[in-house]
Structure formats: structure tokens, C-alpha cells
Amino acid sequence: MSFLTDLFTNKVFVSAGSGWFVAQLVKVIIDSIRDGFSVKRLVGGGGMPSTHSSLVTGLFISTGIVYGVSSFEFVIAFFFAMVVMYDAMGVRLTTGKEAYILNKLRERDLAENKEPLYDKNLDEKMGHTFPEIVAGVITGTICALVVCLVIL
């Protein structure tokens, strides 16, 4: 019982977790309004706001508040956040664009009665645009500030 109490009173854990949860909830609501509800969006990547960015921003902001910005914990959390956000805008976004093109080729093959290279469409929502990253950073910052300065 002490483990759970310690975990759920840990400002850094709760900040990062709430950043993830709030961003994922907002993403599901936005996507449901735009495209209809999809169970896949509950855990899927991509979309507005960036859940990855919200989580790692909540992590590094709360780490700075709890341990100070001169701590090694903050430095680790900050650079981890930068790598995650860079990857989301770079490699993962490019992978999603490539999936879109490959899916179009698959559709063409099916229309021409050719055997496609793969059985089903690839996931196109993988990475994030700059505005999605910014929205995630804002969400994570708000969550960290509320958890660290108001709730816990």
C-alpha cells in the first residue's frame, strides 16, 4: 500500500501521467468530432495535441519544480523531452507520410487487380506537426503547474 501511496503522491509521476491523460482525452474528443469515435484513438499516436509532448513536458517541468533546474534530474528530463519531441516531428512524422504514399500504391494495386505488397493499410497517424507539439507542450505545462503548485 505504501508503494501506491508514494507513487500517486509523487508530483513528477502525477504531472507526467496527467499530461498524458489530459492530452489523450482531448485528442480523442477532437478526433471524435472530426472523424467519429474510434477505439484505436484511445491509445494511438499522432494527432492534436501531442500526447508524447504533453507527457515529457509534464515530466521535465515538474522535475524542475521539485528538484530545481540545476539538478541532474532536470537535465536528464529536459534532454529526454527534447529527443522525444524531435523524434515525433521528424522520424515519426516522416514515417506517417510514407505510410500514406504506400497506402495509395496499395489502393492502386487493388484497383488494377494486382496483388498488393501487404495485406492491410499502414497507420498514417504516427508523428506530429509543429502546432500539435506546441499544443502538447502547453497541455503538459499546465498539468505540471496545476499538480505541483495547486493539488499536491
pLDDT at 128: 81
CA distances from 3 to 6, 9, 27, 41, 79 (A): 5, 10, 31, 31, 28
pLDDT band at 91 (very low <50, low <70, confident <90, very high): confident
**Roughly what angle, to the nearest 10 degrees, separates helices 11-35 and 51-67?**
160
Give me the domain span that covers residue 45: 3-150
What's the number of domains the chain is made of? 1
Q: What is the reported pLDDT for 23?
A: 93
User: Mind listing the pLDDT tens digit for each residue in 127-138?
Assistant: 788 898 999 999
**pLDDT, tens only, 11-29:** 999 999 999 999 999 988 8
Which segment, 48-52, 91-95, 141-145, is predicted with the most confidence on average? 141-145
